Structure 1
Amino acid sequence: MQLAGSLSQFPLRELIEMAVYSSVSGVLEVQVGDDTGRIFFRDGLPQHAELTVLQGVDAIGRMFAEHDSSFRFLADSTPVTPTLWMDPWEIIELAEHQAQTWAKVRPHVPALGAVPVLRIPRQKAQSLIGEDVRPLLALIDGRRSIPDIARDLAVTLIDVYVGVASLVQQQIVILAPLPPSQTAPPFEPGSDAGEKRDGFFERLIARALEEERRKSDPHQSEPRQSEPRQSEERRLR
């Protein structure tokens, strides 16, 4: 099974909720610029998320900052190493909160795996920043990527992205791309991808699309024979 669409029609929160309610196993892919974010589900529970150098809730939070990107859902049961252990609703709430921060960071740090490079002497840079940013500045050497700095500082990735974004705004650093050898490998679905189908999840998408068509066509007021009855719709919800 493969379903595709736009986040402008189906917000990411709704897609995750549909996957949970329908107990599907598969991969929800979200286009984020030139990269692809992936959320892996098993029996409806989020197991793992990845987006280039981001994993877990950090990756989902960045995906939540997208509002009109394309998505697709692929049925698949390939085992993954879990990076998500929280309740799905807690994951959603935390990711939505992070998305607000990502929306502010994104214009200044578009490449998630970028390597910050000083564009002015370190001593001068230290005189332009506050004490809270100095530990970050000390690790900017033109070799460490943003995730490397977060690991070495033992702080969350989102905090380092915020700090780097502020340094970019002050024109203290510029960003160099992450070497290709350090980027995450593309996900290859298992051999059974596309074979497993989940009618419930597919009906939810089809019903939403039908409602969009009816709204855009006022003459199409009568429900089609293939649509679920009102009682069935209430039960599915």
Structure 2
Amino acid sequence: MASDRSTKSRPYVVQSLKLQSFHAQQVFRRGFDLYTDAIYSLSVVLRAVGTEDQVRAMEELIDDRLNRAQNDIRNEIARLEKVVEDNGITLDRVNYSEPLVVEAKISSHRSARYAGILHEFDGLIAKLDALWLSGMIPDNEYSRILYEWKRRILKIASSARGTVRQAMIDSRKQAQQESPNQNMQNKTAGQILSGGTEPIINGESGIDEISMGNAGEMPESGSKLFGWLR
């Protein structure tokens, strides 16, 4: 029997992902576990200390980021495929020296979606590499595009962690604020029942809303990282 009671046993399934490019492999190593841990805390742990409305609001925010990123990746893949087709470039001629099969531990449907985005990102890079190797994309543009996409996908993970962390802090503060009020209410109720005093009306105590701020906001879906390609 495990002696460390703080260690939680989580359910998960293993999904094998074949990532061809170094860039997709790097984003997986840096972002997947970070994102998965944050989403598990949001879906399971935070529900024990926060309200359902607060949790759902954060889930909608995170889902919106996933949706926009996935839609933008698919739009850019379609754009690149058109450029490849128009220029007679053969995609299947591009090979990779160190393809890697990674094992993603899926502990929620949102972590499965993030894994799917990484897989589609790897496909986007394959088309980008084909254009770069054929001389259709200059080196500086190639580097800039890679940097912006990697930063965006990693930001989904870091912003999820930041959102959940802030929610945990706010929930603890709220619990600390409500505890003295509850003790006072219990004491007052006891005095009323014993005939010792009149009821004390404190007014409504406001519930702190979880601060979303602007942390982790993604670029608008209308932005085109490949706008220079026409």
Query: Same fold, TM exceeding 0.5?
Result: no
TM (norm. structure 1) is: 0.22
Structure that is richer in helix per residue: 2
Q: Which has the larger radius of gyration?
A: 2
Asked which structure has the greater RCO (Cα within 8 Å, sep 6+), the reply is: 2
Structure that is richer in strand per residue: 1
